[in-house]
Structure 1
Amino acid sequence: MFRPDPRSFDQCEHHHRASFSASHQNGSTVLVTADGEIDATNSRALATYVEGQIAGTRRLLVDLRLVDFFGTSGFAALHYINVICARNGIDWEVRCGRQVRRLLAICDPGGELPLEKPRSLLDEVRTGAGDRQLLISGNN
């Protein structure tokens, strides 16, 4: 009987005003995507969710480009993820848009967190996550 590897399925969780999903790619990379609002009600859930997804991986990408609001507790979650990845020898990177970059410029002025360089003009222009979702889905 054929049984697919359960890590190959997207795994999604909803916490307050945010959703987290994980996709295991190439066997050693995990992509965790968050959308919605990351604040004190769900930042710990984000960190715990990521921690639960990284077993046996070598690389982690945390995609926060669709986050509408990112509070200071979100920074604490990213710091926790940084510590967990360092302890487990996992290379990781944060993909973020304007909302997250603005807060990290204040909370992480030394650039300790591994931020991906912007790959799209949409990461830099003054649009909201909802605008990017429309462009990505092709419903513009």
Structure 2
Amino acid sequence: MDPFTLTCRLCDQAAAVQWQRRLTPGEFETVLAAEHARRDQAALLADPAQPPPSFGPMPDPAHYTTPVYACSPHAITLDAAALVHQATCTAPAAADLPGCSCTPEPVPSPNPEATATAALPGHWNT
């Protein structure tokens, strides 16, 4: 199979669906290590005649997700796939299908500012 083809986590067939889950502690440690290396490299390459580089806060696990892929037979429900799952979620686990082993995060509250729409120019309407 093509190394760039996304595959089902359960059976290695071509993926048909995808959802998100939070990073495991080990996966997040990899993110932190990469960020430490990036900051160390930036500090090493910084011009000593200039102020030292200023970095923001370290990454927060709440800001990271990773994709989970599945083929059609091993897909969770569409409603469940629309949510972010816990790091410990075992989906797509055959015993839980079409569900999963976790309680996904609730849907965020809608942003009232995002619901306002701008009027399109008249010549854009068909």
TM-score w.r.t. the length of structure 1 is 0.22
Which has the larger share of strand?
1
The structure richer in helix per residue is: 1
**TM-score, length-normalised on structure 2?**
0.24
Larger radius of gyration: 2
Considering Cα pairs closer than 8 Å and 6+ residues apart, tell me whether 1 or 2 has the greater RCO: 2
